[in-house]
Amino acid sequence: MAEAGSAMEMVPRGSAVSAASVMSRPLVHGISYWMAGVFITGEIAGSGMLALPYSVAQTGWVGVPLIFVLGVVSAYCGLCLSRSWLIIESRYPELHGRCAEPYPEIAFHAAGKPGKVLAAVCMSINTFGACIVYVLIVAQLLENLLCPSPSDCAVDLSYCIWVLVIAAILVPVSWLGSPKDFWWIGILALGTTSLAWLFCMIQLSSNFAELSADATFHSPEFLPFFLGVGPILFSFGGASTFPTIQNDMQHRDMFGRSVILGFIGLITMYLPIAAVGYFAVGDDVASSILDTLKDKTPGPLSNGAEILFIIHLVTAFSVVINPFLQQMEVVAKVPPAFGIRRCLFRTLLMGVLVLLGELIPDFVKILDLLGSTTIALMTFILPPFFYLRLCAMEDPDGKWKTISIPLWERVLLYELIVVGFAGGIASAISSVQSIIDEGLETSCLIG
C-alpha cells in the first residue's frame, strides 16, 4: 500500500520525468534548511582555510578567482548529490530516514558494489588523512603558543615531540563510541572558525601597509601551480557528508538551499583571507597563515586565532575519528562493545596515524595529496557521474522511468568529470613529486 505523499506517486510512469519533479516526504524530526547550511559551512571550513594564502602564492593571481570557481563547481556537485539522494529515496522508500551512510548507498545504486566499495575506501582514506592533518596542525599551534621564540619558551619541545604528545592525549578519546546527536558541534565548529577568521583578517588588514611594503610576487610555474590547487580542492572537500546532512533534514528536497547558503558562507570567508593574506605578504607567506601572522605581526589576535583553531580541530577530531574507527572494527571483526580489544585496536590505528604524521610532518603536503585524490574524486568527479547514471536508469518492472536532463547540463556534467580527472591526476603527480623531493626532507623519521 502506497504511503500518502510519497515521492513515488509524483513520478509519472509512462515517460521520462525531470529531476525537479522528484520530491521527498518530510521527516517529522529533522533540521531546517538553514541549520543544514550552517552544518555545511562549519563542517567544511577549517584546516584547509589556513593554507589558502599559500595556495594563491603557488598559483599566482589566478588563484583568487580559481577559489571562487572551484567553490561554485563544488556547490553544483553538492546539488548533484542532493538530487541523487532524492532519486534514491523515491525509488527505494525503505531508505527514507533510515540510512546511516547515504553516500555509499548512492554509489551502490548508481554503480553497483564496485562503486560502493570505491566510495567507502575513499571516505576512509579521506577521514584518516584529515585526522592526521588535525593532529599536525594542533601540534604546530601549541608549539607556536608555548614557544614563540627560543628565548621565550614555556614548554620547550620540538614539533615532532608535540605530535606524539597530542596523539597520546587523543588516544583515550578514540576509545569512546561515536558521538550521536551532537547538533551543537556544527555551531561550535562554525563559531570558532568564523571568530578565528575574523581575528586573522583584522590582524592582516591593520598591518597591510607595513607587510606589503616589502612583498614580492613571482609568476607561477607548472609544478607549483598544481601544488597550489590541491589545498584549494581540500578546502572545499566534505561532499561525502552532504547526503548525511540532507538525510537528517525535515524537508530534504530543500537541501539545494542549504548548499547555496553553506557555500556563500565558505566563499565569503575564503576569498578575503586568501587575497589579503597573499597580497599582504607575497612570496613569503607561510604554508599556514597563522605562522605568517606569528612571524610578521605577533600579537593577542593571532594567539587568539590559534587557540580557537585548536578548539575547532580537537572537537572535529573527536567527532570524525570514531565513525572511521568503527568501520575499521567491522573489517577487523573487533567486537563493538567497549573492551580491551577495542582499546588495543584503536590504539594501534592511532599509532599508524602518528607514524604517517611523523613521516610527513608538513600538513600542506597531506592536504595536497588528499585534495588531488580522494577529495577530487568524491567532490568533483563521482557526484556528476552518479547523477548521470541514476537519471539514465529505468526499472524493468516499470516502477520508475528515466529522468530527463537538459542538453546543456548533460554537457556540463561530462565536462566536470573530464576536467576533474585531468586536474586531479596532474595535481596528484605534482603532490607525490613534492613529497618525494621536499616532504621527506623534513621527516621526523628520516631526517
Give the whole-angstrom CA distance, residue 322 versus residue 304: 28
Determine, yes or no, domain membership for 21: no
Determine, yes or no, domain membership for 311: yes
Determine, yes or no, domain membership for 118: yes
pLDDT of amino acid 24: 52
Q: Is the pLDDT of residue 276 over 60?
A: yes
- pTM of the predicted model over 0.75: yes
pLDDT tier at 15, thresholds 50, 70, 90: very low
pLDDT of amino acid 20: 46
Give the whole-angstrom CA distance, residue 261 versus residue 43: 13
The answer to whether 70 touches 232, Cβ cutoff 8 Å, is yes
Determine, yes or no, domain membership for 10: no
Residue 103 three-state SS: helix
> C-alpha cell of 402?
528515466
- Give me the phi and psi of 157, to 5 degrees please: -125, 145
Residue bearing the bigger pLDDT, 334 or 150? 334
Give the whole-angstrom CA distance, residue 344 versus residue 354: 15
| Mean pLDDT along residues 66-81 | 93
Determine, yes or no, domain membership for 426: yes
* Eight-class DSSP state of 60: G
Minimum mean pLDDT range among 6-20, 200-214, 281-295: 6-20
Give the whole-angstrom CA distance, residue 444 versus residue 447: 6
Q: For the stretch 51-62, what's the b/e string if a residue is b when 16 or more beta carbons lie within 10 angstroms of its beta carbon?
A: bbbbbbbbbbee
pLDDT of amino acid 5: 36
Give the whole-angstrom CA distance, residue 374 versus residue 133: 15
| Mean pLDDT along residues 235-256 | 81
Residue 195 CB burial class (10 angstroms; 0-12, 13-18, ≥19): middle
| Mean pLDDT along residues 368-373 | 91
Check residue 181 and give left, alpha or beta (phi > 0: left; psi -120 to 50: alpha): left
Q: Is the pLDDT of residue 56 over 60?
A: yes
**Element of type H or E holding 27:** none
In CATH, what number is assigned to the domain containing residue 436? Answer: 1.10.4160.10
Determine, yes or no, domain membership for 19: no
Give the whole-angstrom CA distance, residue 65 versus residue 274: 10
Torsion from C-alpha of 325, 375, 424, 362, nearest 10 degrees: -70
Cell 547515504 belongs to residue: 102
What does the pLDDT look like over 386-432, one tens digit per residue?
Answer: 999 999 998 888 788 899 999 999 999 999 999 999 988 988 998 88
| Average model confidence (pLDDT) across the chain | 84
pLDDT of amino acid 201: 94
Total residues found in the chain within this entry: 447
Determine, yes or no, domain membership for 57: yes
Give the whole-angstrom CA distance, residue 155 versus residue 133: 22
What does the pLDDT look like over 126-157, one tens digit per residue?
Answer: 889 989 999 999 999 998 888 777 777 777 78
Give the whole-angstrom CA distance, residue 160 versus residue 157: 8
Determine, yes or no, domain membership for 16: no
| Mean pLDDT along residues 214-233 | 84
Residue 333 CB burial class (10 angstroms; 0-12, 13-18, ≥19): exposed
> C-alpha cell of 326?
568503527
Full domain range(s) for residue 186: 27-442
Give percent of the chain with pLDDT exceeding 90: 38
Give the whole-angstrom CA distance, residue 311 versus residue 308: 5
What sign results for the dihedral spanned by CA atoms 200, 205, 209, 214? positive
| Mean pLDDT along residues 333-338 | 80
Residue bearing the bigger pLDDT, 206 or 250? 206
- Look at the chain and report how many structural domains it folds into: 1
User: Of 20, 172, 25, 41, nearest to 83 (Cα)?
Assistant: 20
Minimum mean pLDDT range among 225-234, 319-328, 346-355, 377-386: 319-328
